[in-house]
């Protein structure tokens, strides 16, 4: 008898309910038995109930240890702290993993992109420690610790080894932030000594970004601090077709939260036109994490086939088609059958 898996489901804001709903449909179409624990978080919940991240949602994540999460909105320049940052810090989801690869049927100027971003998720400038020193002068603190830097470096090298990757590259700004980024580099170098079979190199981040857009095929696994990892995630998504085609996951030692890289896209929310592929791909990562690799492979083969068909009638507008969210999802499910 097949096992039933329990996972938390956070639909989030904006297009979140649409794309997470599509991912749920695709996962359930594999026949894998899922018990979804639906929990709220985000701006819309805040506006209705006065809390952006309920304690009950955190407790569910701690209890069930696996989640599929939609995007949550964060006010710019004012208002509550990012839900994503809060979840990552409160649950110690220290490692963000974001695979980026070229997809047949999605035309870009780049081919054969196949890299993975490993991002430190709990500190850096996203620690959120800011204050006004005097009127008109704000200080924002970048927190870098040896413990967190070593931990994320170990994760990156072990990830590379377990998946047959060959190289880890650190992007940094240690020429300017000699102590903060210097400590991050020191820890990465020390960890590399314990993993000598993996090639290791370093690039100053501005040069690294230039090298990335010139030839992304030279990169394999990128090891980055919190801010740099956030920026490079979007940059690399642009190499392969946009935020709608890049999945992601956040790991602690015990908990895994799977979510796409894109935001809540309020301008298209409720219109049924959002691309659900990133959420579906994140769902594949969730299935693989649960050991349901055959089901994950079926979904991957199905969306690859849909994209490779170059049929505009079943592709969403952001990737050159005319389909809505439901039609694209239906096409993937049909290919699975």
Task: State the pLDDT at residue 79.
Answer: 58
Cα of first residue to Cα of last residue in the chain, in angstroms, is 21
Give me the domains of the chain, ranges plus CATH numbers. Answer: 1-95+244-337 (3.40.718.10), 109-240 (3.40.718.10)
Helix (H) or strand (E) holding 265: none
How many angstroms separate the CA atoms of 277 and 327, rounded?
12
How many angstroms separate the CA atoms of 148 and 123, rounded?
8
Helix orientation angle between 180-193 and 146-162, rounded to the nearest 10 degrees? 40
Task: State the pLDDT at residue 203.
Answer: 98
pLDDT digits (tens), the chain, 337 positions: 478 999 999 999 999 999 999 999 999 999 999 999 999 998 888 888 888 899 999 999 999 999 999 998 876 555 566 788 889 989 999 999 999 999 998 989 998 899 999 999 999 998 888 899 999 999 999 999 999 999 999 999 999 999 999 999 999 999 999 999 999 999 999 999 999 999 999 999 999 999 999 999 999 999 999 999 999 999 999 999 999 999 999 999 999 999 998 889 989 999 999 999 999 999 999 999 999 999 999 999 999 999 999 888 999 998 888 999 999 999 999 999 8
Q: How far is CA 134 from CA 78, 138, 142, in A?
A: 19, 7, 19
**How many C-beta atoms surround the C-beta of residue 263 within 10 A?**
18
Task: State the pLDDT at residue 107.
Answer: 84
Q: Which of 61, 35, 89 is nearest to 254 (CA)?
A: 61
Task: State the pLDDT at residue 75.
Answer: 63
Beta strands in the chain (DSSP E): 4-10, 33-38, 66-69, 95-101, 114-120, 130-134, 137-140, 167-172, 199-204, 221-224, 249-251, 256-258
Q: How far is CA 278 from CA 149, 231, 304, 333, in A?
A: 28, 17, 13, 15
Task: State the pLDDT at residue 43.
Answer: 84
φ/ψ of residue 227, rounded to 5: -65, -50
Q: Which of 318, 281, 278, 276 is nearest to 301 (CA)?
A: 281
Q: Cβ distance 323 to 307 under 8 Å?
A: no
Largest pairwise CA distance in the chain: 66
For 316, which DSSP code? B
Task: State the pLDDT at residue 161.
Answer: 97
Task: State the pLDDT at residue 127.
Answer: 84
């Amino acid at each position: 008898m097949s096992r039933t898996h329990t996972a938390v489901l956070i639909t989030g804001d904006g297009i979140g309910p649409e794309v997470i709903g599509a991912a749920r449909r695709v996962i359930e179409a594999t026949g894998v038995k899922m018990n979804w624990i639906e929990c709220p978080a985000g701006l819309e919940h805040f506006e209705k109930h006065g809390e952006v991240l309920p304690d009950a949602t955190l407790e569910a994540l701690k209890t069930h240890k696996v989640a599929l999460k939609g995007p949550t909105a964060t006010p710019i320049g004012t208002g509550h702290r990012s839900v994503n940052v809060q979840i990552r810090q409160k649950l110690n989801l220290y490692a963000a993993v974001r695979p980026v690869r070229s997809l047949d049927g999605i035309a870009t100027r780049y081919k054969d992109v196949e890299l993975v971003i490993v991002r430190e998720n709990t500190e850096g400038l996203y620690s959120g420690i800011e204050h006004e020193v005097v009127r008109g002068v704000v200080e924002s603190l970048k927190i870098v610790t040896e413990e967190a830097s070593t931990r994320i470096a170990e994760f990156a090298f072990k990830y590379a080894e377990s998946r047959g990757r060959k190289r880890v590259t650190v992007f940094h700004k240690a020429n300017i932030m000699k102590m903060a980024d210097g400590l991050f580099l020191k820890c990465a170098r020390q960890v590399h000594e314990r993993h000598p079979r993996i090639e290791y190199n370093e690039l100053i981040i501005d040069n690294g970004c230039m090298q990335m857009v010139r030839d992304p095929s030279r990169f394999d696994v990128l090891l980055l601090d919190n801010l740099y990892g956030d920026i490079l995630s979007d940059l690399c998504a642009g190499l392969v077709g946009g935020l709608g085609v890049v999945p992601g996951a956040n790991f602690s030692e015990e908990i895994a939260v799977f979510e796409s890289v894109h935001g809540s896209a309020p301008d298209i929310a409720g219109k049924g036109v959002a691309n659900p592929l990133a959420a579906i791909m994140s769902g594949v990562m969730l299935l693989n994490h649960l050991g349901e690799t055959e089901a994950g492979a079926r979904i991957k083969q199905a969306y690859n086939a849909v994209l490779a068909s170059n049929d505009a009638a079943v592709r969403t507008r952001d990737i050159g088609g005319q389909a809505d969210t439901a039609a694209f999802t239906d096409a993937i499910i049909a290919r699975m059958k």
